[in-house]
A and B are shown apart, each in its own frame.
Chain A
Amino acid sequence: MDVTPTQGIDFTRLTLRDGLDLAISIEEEARDRYQDFAEQLTLHHTVDAANFFARMARVEEIHRSRLAERRQALFPGEISSAIRAKVFDVEAPEFDQVRVFMSVEQALKTALAAEEKAYDFFARAIPQLQNAEVRALFTELRDEEVEHQALVKQEMARTSGEPSANAEAYGDDPVAQ
């Protein structure tokens, strides 16, 4: 089943301000999801993957803040048109993509799949856009996703073969609930 990641967004009517707001929301969602993953895995002794996701959260925050600065310069003080509640898993990995004791390699695969998903989102939206400025923005964002994929792949090559967390070391005893 094809679940549309952004419910109710009519791409044909997006203005540049809407497009920037949507892009900011997408980066914000990705940042928050990576941050959540980092916290969950830290809590569950999966430190290496947690550190990688924390880094991803910082990267997404850089993307978000760059877009936010651009938006502020173009439309200072105008209220955001993006409804965060409507943005679902566009660049953010789905919530179930983490597991206790996952390896860095698995974490990298999760991030790569998320970057590919984001590329598809922008690629699918572009033909529907009517506004030339938004089309330029989305084309730029789509192309950036290719760069991000390349960075993740580089990291994959650098870390391949590194040992992953050891589940046996963290067995816990039952406790009364």
Chain B
Amino acid sequence: MELQAKPVQPQTPAALQPKDYKSDLKPIWCPGCGDFGVLQALYRALSAIGRQPHEIAFISGIGCSSRIPGYTTAYGFNSVHGRALPIAQGVKLASPELLVVVAGGDGDGFSIGGGHVAHAIRRNIDLTYLVMDNQVYGLTKGQLSPTAPKGLHTVTSPFGSLEEPINPLLYVLAYGAGFVAQATPADMPGMAALVEEALRYPGFAFVNIQSPCVTFGEEEQQLRAHKAKMKPLASLGHDSSNQLAALDLARAYGKELYTGVFYRNPAPPPTYDALVRLRQAELAKTRQPRERVLDAYLQK
């Protein structure tokens, strides 16, 4: 048995079109929300990969961005705030053949759900985690989020926040994520290509998407500012196989807007789901019937 999760094989390019992944449910996001851009990039990335909708599962928590599963024709679970990753890990272990995509906000992923990120990474379960980082709690109307810049005035920090923001890029790199990238809908082709690359990565892949909240977000977090500010890592000559260089660049989160792949493990290790399958196959040789297992306990 192979230890490595299989990279998704592209099929005939014209076989599935982006619209084939679009559900009939109409997004209720505020017009102009960055999440619309993410959704478009996602439909295109999925069609480039060519997996059928029934071979894909979208798992999310709660938030504006967590509505994404409903807007796709794939399987979807809009679950509980902060619990997207544990549920997604269960889905992947139970149905390893599915392409499992986790989507949600910076609040969902790095406040209430922050504790789960480290464990999903250290297990290296073959998931793609897309965080729509808008530096605010959008759904609940503009409270301070974990990635909000220090000093930000919001309804929950009327005099300006006193905390430093979490750095999601540094966080996931430090725990050893095999694929770490950042995108913005200010560069739609670039974002679609990055999402596609993340989906193809065999292991835990993380994309931090700077997705503007047009209703509660700050001016400097909007698309126009992104366009002026963004710096593609490729244009800086960054070597994405260099983890230390990636860590160094990630430190600039909040100051610089680097886009592209920070780190891609050139030799992806076996995924947890593949190891579990291997263990199951090994144990199957000596597996006891269930009654025997129970008997063993009773005799004790």
Q: Which residues of A approach B to under 8 Å, CB–CB?
A: 1, 3-5, 7, 32, 36-37, 39-41, 43-44, 46, 79-81, 83-86, 88-89, 94-100, 102, 174, 177
Contacts and interface: CB of A to CB of B under 8 A. Distances in A.
B250 interface: no
Given A7-B193, A94-B188, A96-B36, 8 more contacts: A3-B187, A5-B189, A40-B36, A84-B44, A95-B32, A96-B223, A99-B32, A177-B62
Given A79-B14, A83-B13, A177-B139, A3 B189 contact: yes
A62 B97 CA distance: 42
Nearest to B224: A96
Given A40-B27, A40-B31, A41-B31, A95 B187 contact: no
B32 A96 contact: yes
Nearest to B47: A85
Nearest to A6: B189
Contacts of B192: 85, 88
Nearest to B36: A95
B37 A95 contact: yes
Interface in B125-178: 139-141
B26 A98 contact: no
Interface residues of B, number: 40
Contacts of A99: 30-32, 214
Interface in B182-199: 185, 187-190, 192-193
A110 to B, nearest CB: 11
B203 interface: no
Given A80-B14, A174-B141, A177-B139, A98 B190 contact: no
Main secondary structure of the interface of A (DSSP, over half): loop
Interface of B: 13-14, 17-19, 26-34, 36-37, 40, 43-45, 47-48, 62, 139-141, 185, 187-190, 192-193, 212, 214-215, 223, 227, 230, 232
Contacts of A32: 19
Nearest to A28: B19
Given A85-B44, A85-B48, A88-B189, A1 B227 contact: yes
Contacts of A86: 44
Nearest to A33: B40
Contacts of A1: 187, 227, 230, 232
B185 A95 contact: yes
Nearest to B227: A1
B156 to A, nearest CB: 13
Q: Which 7 A-B pairs have the closest CB atoms?
A: A98-B31, A85-B44, A40-B31, A95-B36, A7-B189, A96-B32, A85-B47
Contacts of B48: 83, 85
A4 B34 CA distance: 20
Contacts of B19: 32, 84
17 contacts: A1-B230, A3-B187, A4-B189, A5-B189, A84-B19, A84-B47, A85-B45, A88-B189, A88-B192, A95-B32, A95-B36, A95-B185, A99-B30, A99-B32, A99-B214, A100-B31, A102-B31
